[in-house]
Amino acid sequence: MIACQDLIKLVRAYNPKTDEKLISAAYDYGREMHEGQFRHSGEPYFSHPVAVAAILTEQRLDDATIVTALLHDTIEDTRASYTSVTDQFGREIADLVDGVTKLTNLQLSSTETQQAENFRKLFMAMSKDMRVILVKLADRLHNMRTIKAMRPEKQLKKARETMDIYAPLAGRMGMQWMREELEDLAFRVINPEARASIIRRFITLQKETGDVIERITGDMRRELDKAGIEADVFGRAKKPYSIWRKMEEKEMGFSRLSDIYGFRVITQNEEDCYAVLGAIHRRWRAVPGRFKDYISQPKSNGYRSIHTTVSGRDGKRVEVQIRTQAMHDVAESGVAAHWSYRDGVRSENPFAVDPVKWISSLTEQFDSEEDHEDFLEAVKLEMYADKVFCFTPKGDVVKLPRGATPIDFAYAIHTRIGHACVGAKIDGMRVPLWTRIKNGQSVEVITADGQAPQATWLDIATTGKARAAIRRALREQDRDRYIKLGRELARSAFEHVSKKATDKALDSAAKTLRLKDRDEVLARLGSAELTARQVLHAVYPDLAPDDSDAVGRERPVIGLSADQSFDRARCCQPLPGERIVGITYRGKGVVVHAIDCEALSAYDDQPQRWLDLHWHSGTHPAVYGVTLDVTIGNDAGVLGRICTLIGEQKANISDLTFVDRKPDFFRLLVDVELRDAEHLHGVISALDAESDVATVERHRDPRLAGTAPATED
């Protein structure tokens, strides 16, 4: 455990004017309160708050934050109270300690409703004082560093919560070093075999190629010396989790990954950043599409840097980040740079974001979200998404999450523009509304009077702002009709359990479901946003039948008119849970395709035949056929085990065809009947885990695209 004077020494190194008596008093108070308490490892419990305080000194934080770290568990775990901490250390520190205590009690990985409510509390605490979340992140970091002392099931729960919540939050706040370490520590628990494999490959690679980092760093320094530029050059191998994520995203093995090394150049001023970029691009070939200038277009958390990827020695790609020291401080500390000290005074970093403005911009869109699902979705989109920068026709910059579409762009400009959107052009070319916008593209929205949002836009939009606006508009359309239909559905569902859907009962449902009033409940029931079972369960949880949210076979797709029939396209075999689009045929027939089906390109010049559709929510019956392409070992009993595995997943085999027979392996096509995309994932995962299964994947055949219910238009 770090001694008190050693901790003070760490603070004094960046803040010579620190209040040593305050820190010493907090150290003694915390040690006294935690006397007799021990961690799972057997160490005195107070070693943990001291370690958290030491982590925060690395970010050069103020005395109040350091003291809060020392006391952050006292109110929760000891006889100390808010009043006693206030008496000893003042209102500011007591509020910070109380804020951390409340965050500790939030179950961020609980059910959706609780999780959304707890996220609201999290952002509320952050809006009051950002230092609360800085202490909590440091607390989680030390807990992850010492997680081996916990029970295996507790380790896994903490690791998943860290990967899902705390690591993305650290990244969103600009604390990239903390995000990377949290991710890697969680990765060590969640998938230790994959992490160990990557580390072994690194060791093998180093033996084969020598110290690549030292060689490339030396090459860069020589080039900068030639150009007369003073700068520091650092290199490092990327973290195992970062490499594993790239392998998963790009679907390639370690040996095919190129940019596994990262290099950083710290310059003396902004002009030198661009001079360094020129020197590096003159010496090494730049990789197209891998250049980003966050100096001219900073991220919302204040991050500024130039990113480029070049082909280095032996054709290996290396990523280079170029920034000044002030930019680097923000890149390392993110929003926390606002509280950083140098030489006893709070450092005036011109690039540090005012945390009050930052958290206001982050929570601004959430205030309009009434539903816990909408709120949770908006929070997660904002926390996890990287940004792309695109332009209006006039040259104004619009920041959107990666994966955003022209629909998101339109709503980012103005809600009215979004509602009236009928098409879009990217770099002057007409594109479908589901096109993903890339960095640097110019986007033009085409509008028309009388246009209104469509339900399928919810499958296209990615930003919380766009989705919330679309939902509100859809609810307002035909609201009276939906309320009338919802009342009839509620009456029927309640009568089924010998109850009446009275106004009082519906008011109770609205309160339980966190909706404004009973009309809102009925409108959502009528528009299929709520199921009758959900409404019934909100009033009579013990009476709601388990299967009343099941989707009937006759109308599982929303978006068809009453006289339209549909068939699933044989080429892509779409499943509930996947984004879909319909192609109309003469005779009112519709063929439903998955949105990414290759066969859809044949209809690009026939927009009048496209129909926006989506699957009905709820539980679908296992009647949707999907073909699996499976390669298995040619051994006794293997085929029987495969069939048993599929049966254990509650899936029925409707057909089985051998397409290739080898001495060692058989390749076969297996037709299975499934409920939805999640059911498919479960079947594939079960087969993939079987040692005698060489490969298993979904089989799609574009040649079957011609199947139609009737003659074409």
Give every CB contact of residue 599 below 8 A, 6+ residues apart in sequence: 569, 571, 572, 593, 702, 705
Q: Where on the phi/psi map is residue 314: left (φ > 0), alpha (ψ -120 to 50), or beta? A: left
Tell me whether residue 77 is one of the annotated catalytic residues. yes
Tell me whether residue 20 is one of the annotated catalytic residues. no
Tell me the CA end-to-end span of the chain in Å, nearest whole number: 78
Q: Where are the alpha helices (DSSP H) in 449-531?
A: 457-460, 464-476, 479-496, 503-512, 518-526
HEC profile for 325-392? Answer: HHHHHHHHHHHHHHHCEECCEECCCCCCCCHHHHHHHHHHHHHHCCCHHHHHHHHHHHHHCCEEEEEC
**Which candidate in 76, 92, 373, 701 is catalytic?**
76
Alpha carbon distance 620, 482 (integer Å)? 23
Alpha carbon distance 306, 281 (integer Å)? 13
**Which candidate in 77, 519, 673, 701 is catalytic?**
77
445 in Cβ contact with 413 (< 8 Å): yes
- The full DSSP string for 542-569 is TTS-TTTTBPPSS--EES--TT-EEEE-
HEC profile for 190-219? Answer: HCHHHHHHHHHHHHHHHHHHCCHHHHHHHH
Pair of tokens at residue 179: 């995000």
Alpha carbon distance 370, 705 (integer Å)? 42
614 in Cβ contact with 579 (< 8 Å): yes
Alpha carbon distance 171, 167 (integer Å)? 6
Give every CB contact of residue 492 below 8 A, 6+ residues apart in sequence: 532
Nearest to 486 by CA among 468, 510, 460: 510
Cα–Cα distance list, 532 to 474, 657, 675 (Å) = 19, 42, 20
Nearest-10 crossing angle of helices 464-476, 479-496: 80
Question: Which amino acid makes up residue 615?
Answer: W
Would you please indicate which residues are annotated as catalytic (active-site) residues? 76-77
